[in-house]
Amino acid sequence: MLGILARVHTPTDARGRTKTLSELTTAELQNWLADQKQPKFRAAQIQEWLWTHFATSYDQMTNLPKDLRALLASQMKLGALDQVDQQVSSDGTAKWAFQDADGKRFETVMIPEEDRRTACVSSQVGCAMGCTFCRTAQMGFQRNLSHGEILQQVAHVRRYLRDTQQPQLTNIVFMGMGEPLNNLSNVLQACEVITHPKGLGMSPRRITISTSGLIAGIDRLAEEAPQYHLAISLNSSNDEMRNKVMPVNRRHPIHDLLLAGDSWSIAANWPITYEYVLIGDVTCTSQAARELAGLLGGRHCKINLIPLNAADDIALRAPTQEEILDFESRLVDAGLQVYLRKPKGQDILAACGQLAQKAN
């Protein structure tokens, strides 16, 4: 009878499309269920199927009445991602490509490291920021991902870890395709579900949001959501160099960016992370190390050094091991907290800056 009585108001997204179940907020789901004269607790049951059991079809939601499942199926898609490719690296890193109804593709990576399992999640299809060392930049900006699509990437990784009997997901980094602060509302909405005890139940300190340096977004995070880690891709030791590597620097020069980072770390009471890609002859020189130590010395921060992952279509040189170690030791000698990131998943182009999908 449910289907006959139903007065269905299925919410739509910014593009005017019917939202998928994964894209509904709790309030939207409760309202939709209320329209169907369904008890409120069904919302929690449905969300548990989505985010605890990673259901991919309504048939799996066995504690829902059959007619409710049928109505759901007739009104909205569940929103599980359409996987079009999976590659697993010799070091265990896994990378998936997903395709939306319009043929647009985006990627997610899982990086294993001893007991840690990190999901590297995309926030956009492509990216508008134009960083010269990054393959995603070459796609240009195509669209924002919805919070449901972001969540489904995390669900996909957790399902994979469960099915391959690996340790559980421990960390999430918004370092896949896109500039997360250009899609911050959807990122924060996804993080709310990720950290909610009835969602994925992860600690906010296990989530890192990374930015190329958008100051308004950093300020918004400091004010609205300082519970998540923040990483800024600095990648240069002076404005002249950063203008070339990251065009965003022409709008937000290093001095302003570091002040925004300082304010964030005071609000969050946590050290900010500066990511620094080491590019041979460009950012990885002894002079750059001296300048970087001067910029970051005395700041409440840590530094992740990321040796460039060379790709055929990027005309930049990866630094030698000797250059990398020399750069690192200069920062350590200056008293900075430095971590040298080990490249992962290079053989499947899953490493930092290597994500890219050709538009269909």
CB of 212 to ligand SF4, least distance (A): 4
Q: Which member of 134, 191, 301, 352 is catalytic?
A: 352
- Asked if 107 is an active-site residue, the reply is yes
The helix (H) or strand (E) run that includes residue 245 is helix 239-245
**CB nearer to ligand SF4: pick between 72 and 352:** 352
**CB nearer to ligand SF4: pick between 72 and 137:** 137
Q: How far apart are CA 17 and CA 15, in angstroms?
A: 6
CB of 124 to ligand SF4, least distance (A): 8
Residue written as tokens 């971590």?
339
Q: Which member of 107, 275, 323, 328 is catalytic?
A: 107
Under 8 Å CB-to-CB from 139, ≥6 apart: which residues? 125, 126, 127, 177, 356, 357, 358, 359
Q: How far apart are CA 175 and CA 109, in angstroms?
A: 10
If one counts every other C-beta atom within 10 angstroms of the C-beta of residue 16, the result is 6
Q: 294 by DSSP, 3-state: which? A: helix
CB of 358 to ligand SF4, least distance (A): 16
CB of 250 to ligand SF4, least distance (A): 14
Which of 51, 65, 90 is CA-nearest to residue 3? 65
**CB nearer to ligand SF4: pick between 36 and 212:** 212
Q: What is the DSSP letter of 19?
A: P
Contacts 24+ apart (CB under 8 A), 221-226: 221/181, 221/184, 221/264, 222/263, 222/264, 222/267, 222/268, 223/267, 224/188, 225/188, 225/191, 226/264, 226/267, 226/268, 226/269, 226/270
- Asked if 352 is an active-site residue, the reply is yes
**CB nearer to ligand SF4: pick between 151 and 245:** 245
Which of 190, 218, 174 is CA-nearest to residue 24? 190
Which of 225, 83, 81 is CA-nearest to residue 146? 81
Which of 107, 112, 110, 134 is CA-nearest to residue 122? 107
**CB nearer to ligand SF4: pick between 29 and 125:** 125
Contact indicator for 53, 64 with CB cutoff of 8 Å = no
**CB nearer to ligand SF4: pick between 235 and 265:** 235
Termini Cα distance of the chain: 43
Question: Which chain residues interact with ligand SF4 by CB under 6 A?
Answer: 127, 129-131, 134, 136-137, 177-179, 212, 353
**CB nearer to ligand SF4: pick between 46 and 232:** 232
Half-sphere exposure of 73 (CA within 13 A, CB side): 13
Residues with catalytic annotation? 107, 352
